[in-house]
Amino acid sequence: MSTFDDIYEEILQYPTIVVHRHTSPDPDALGSQAGLARSLSEKFPEKRILCAGENDEGDLAWINRMDQVKADDYQGALVITTDTANTERISNKLYDRGDFLIKIDHHPDVDPYADMSYVDPNASSASQIIADFINKEDMPLTEEVAFPLYAGIVGDTGRFMYPATSAHTFEIVAQLTKTGIDISKIARNISDVSFAQAKLQASVMNYMKVDPSGAACAILTQDRLKKLGVNSEQTDCTVSTPGRIKDVIAWNVFVEKPDGTFRVHYRSKGPVINKLAAKHNGGGHDLASGANAKDMDEVKQIFAELVQVTKKYDKDHE
């Protein structure tokens, strides 16, 4: 694995740097991307620093908006991906047109796709890694830089509830807070939902199927979403909903896209689920992952696999 110094040396060589993140972004994807890009822009005002993605920020556009990046922008450019474990999940497929590719991530390194990489699966978030990089290389950490990084850390730690939250995480958070960011505003932006989304959260409880093993699933079809007045990009607020039930140990939330395929969310309180996600064009952390399903048959297969993993976990922990 490369070091922060190695990455910084590459950054010095290029007049244009394009920063990518993963598709269907969460706060950490947007936060790590924006935090790095903003710090680089302040450190190197002579360079072109661009944020690339498919304009799928949805309700998280308050963290960062994408630049209009064209194919010509990649000529002679350095490309950096943040919070993106595999190539299938890189948002904007022009990423491979640059001269050099760097991967900065905190997911297990199942797809070492870059020319250079820094991967720390023990970090709470990619945003925490970017903050460490900024500190190590003495780059600007202003309020504008700290805002998305804090949002990313809060998002990926589940408001500091997940196991990857460490003492070092709180050290970074304290540093970010000292820049003057409005942490209450960030918390509200992450937690607030529209009335339609609140009704969608309630509907998940109605539609949710719970297996005796403790595995649960909820399927949000396009018809259901349209009836409630929400689109598939506004459904992230439902992902943690099944986990509020004590008897639920692991769960899937399936969100139908307009093309009839499904975005698949995996969450768990114990059973390791990222290997399941990897079987369906996805991946992620032990207890939080994402994948894709082409149709209802694959949806049923995914949930059947989750049930089996949950049953084994129950048996091992009797």
- Ranges in the chain, pLDDT < 70: none
Amino acid code (one letter) for 285: H
* C-alpha distance from residue 237 to each of 113, 116, 202 (Å): 31, 34, 11
Which residue in this structure is represented by tokens 């949806």? 299
Same structural domain for residues 166 and 202? no
Overall pTM > 0.85: yes
Final residue of a domain: which of 140, 171, 190?
190
Does one domain contain both 173 and 222?
no
Distance CA 23, CA 21 (A): 7
Domain holding 293: CATH number? 3.10.310.30
Whether residue 119 is found in the same domain as residue 225: no
The whole-number pLDDT of residue 143 equals: 98
Instruction: Please give the pLDDT value at position 233.
Output: 79
Residues 138 and 249 in one domain: no
DSSP sequence for 100-147: EEEEEE-S--S---SSEEEE-TTSS-HHHHHHHHHHHTT----HHHHH
Query: 11 and 151: one domain?
Result: yes
CA distance 228 to 38: 37
Tokens of 311: 């049953």
**Are the beta carbons of 12 and 67 closer than 8 angstroms?**
no
**Adjacent-strand bridge partners of 109:** none
> Residue 57 has what pLDDT?
87
